[in-house]
Amino acid sequence: MSSERPMSLTVAGECMVTRPFAVHNEPEFDEVLARLRSAELTYAHVETNFGHFSEVEAPARGDQVGSYFLTDPQVAADLRAAGVDLASLANNHSMDFGSKGVHATIRHCDAVGITHAGTGRDLEEAREPKYRETRQGRVALISVTSGNKSHEWASQPKASLPGRAGVNPLRPIMRYLVDQQAAEQLKAIGGSLGILRETKAGAEGSSGLLMNAEPGEFSLAMPTDQSTTGSNLWRPSDHFEVLSSCNKWDLAGNLRSVGEAATMADLVIVAHHFSVSEGPRGNTPPKFVQEFAHACIDEGADIFIGHGWHKTLGIEIYRGKPIIYGLGNFFAQSEFVRRVPYDAFETWGHDIERLPTLTPATHPLHPGLNQGNETWWSSAVLDVELEGGQLSSIRLHPVECGRKVGKEVDIRRPVGHGEQPLTDGRPFTAHGEDAERILERYQRLSAEFGTTVQIEGESGLIKV
């Protein structure tokens, strides 16, 4: 149950951190780290794996446009020295280097004293709450991820078969609503191609495509998706919309963990990493994320923290508890991955016949970080205060990661001398127009949930 005593938590964003940073001491950087260190309790989302290359084997994925994260374990020590007490580890990069990468990350977090959740040797370990004893009381963290592929999901052991190491998943079910005319056209196209699947049609190759289907829904059995369950469900409607909902088994299992934590801890934090969306990554979280957030609060969670789109989203106050839908990046250093596997060079269209001549400095190798992505290089550190089990206030302290906040994303702290400038990526206190833009975005998006963010100089305040 929620504690009646005052509780405080400082929340930092997504840490795509790939370089040791304890050596730096710029005032704007020190100010950010001092905020973390001085907090009673600090949480951050770690979006990398910790380990030496000798600890892991070949990369475990091949067809994903994105970085492959493996970071010097010294960085884990730097994060702990910076004040990070709790870290969620479940995300779409958790299995970049397979089960050995998962085990190495867990081992190095344990070694430096960071309490972590979201990955494990099997599903029970990945899903269970992890507890930390503090002067404020006992704190529980549950970490969940959506958007991973099936081989990344942790599984339960069965008889003599061990469970699979991996992440704690919350699988979304996507439904595509189209008007009646479009539905008939899709059926006609699917029928002509031989890929239409309807309930009780008995077509070969259906596998589990219709396992989650409701009456009147149909699926298109794309040749590469025929061994998946419910990869696309189409529903005739009077309008066009993408609807997402939670897989019922994953929802129930995670809510059991929330219920356990609510019984055994004074403060319950749920962290949800979602790399999927209902279309382009806009400014509104997917419906299944909102469904999950509300269900977690209903079950006893005190704070729900969302991340995965690498952008700040709005803050909702639900039943007196904060739901932070999008943290944004706290460290943005994906450009500095030391070793890049074959798969990344192939994905980005490089001549793999010249593989020995390609290096981590080759461009491009990472998502378009400087192409008008005004939210990639900024976020805020949030000081959350609860009293009597209810939110009292949230103070927002904006940070920037080395580029100007805005569509131009002009570089402020370059690294190296290449034609494509690399960005330092560490969080500095944001000032002036940067701070204003970060806070105004929080203000605008939070207002859509009925939450008022007051801008007071270069910080923001939510007061309940």
Q: Tell me: the pLDDT tens digits for 313-368? A: 999 999 999 999 999 999 999 999 999 999 999 989 999 999 999 999 999 888 76
> What's the pLDDT at 424?
97
Quick: pLDDT tens for 384-396: 999 999 999 999 9
Could you identify the residue written with the tokens 């052991």? 157
Supply the pLDDT for residue 63: 65
Contact 424, 277 (CB under 8 A): no
- Amino acid making up residue 289: V
* CA distances (Å), origin 180, targets 31, 131, 217, 244: 57, 51, 12, 20
At residue 1, does pLDDT exceed 50?
no
CB neighbour burial string for 150-177, b if at least 16 within 10 angstroms, e if fewer: eebbbbeeeeeeebbbbbbbbbbbbbbb
CB atoms within 10 A of CB 133: 10
pLDDT-wise least confident of 159-163, 220-224, 397-401: 220-224
The pLDDT of 70-90, averaged and rounded, is 98
Q: What is the DSSP letter of 401?
A: -
In the predicted model, is pLDDT for residue 435 greater than 80? yes
Burial 26-45 (b: 16+ CB within 10 A, else e): eeebeebbebbeebbbbbbb
Give 23-57 as a 3 state SS string: CCCCHHHHHHHHHHHHCCCEEEEECCCECCHHHCC
Percent of the chain with pLDDT over 90: 83
List phi, psi (to 5°) of 190.
-60, -40
Neighbours of 207 (CB within 10 A): 16
pLDDT of residue 202: 54
pLDDT of residue 3: 62
User: Are residues 49 and 97 in contact, defined by beta-carbon separation less than 8 angstroms?
Assistant: yes
Q: Count Cα neighbours of 172 within 13 Å in the Cβ-side half-sphere.
A: 28
* Residue 81 · residue 153 · CB < 8 Å: no
Q: Say if residue 455's pLDDT is above 90.
A: yes
Residues ≥6 apart with Cβ < 8 Å to 222:
195, 231, 232
Domains present along the chain, CATH in parentheses: 7-156+247-463 (3.60.21.10), 172-246 (no CATH)
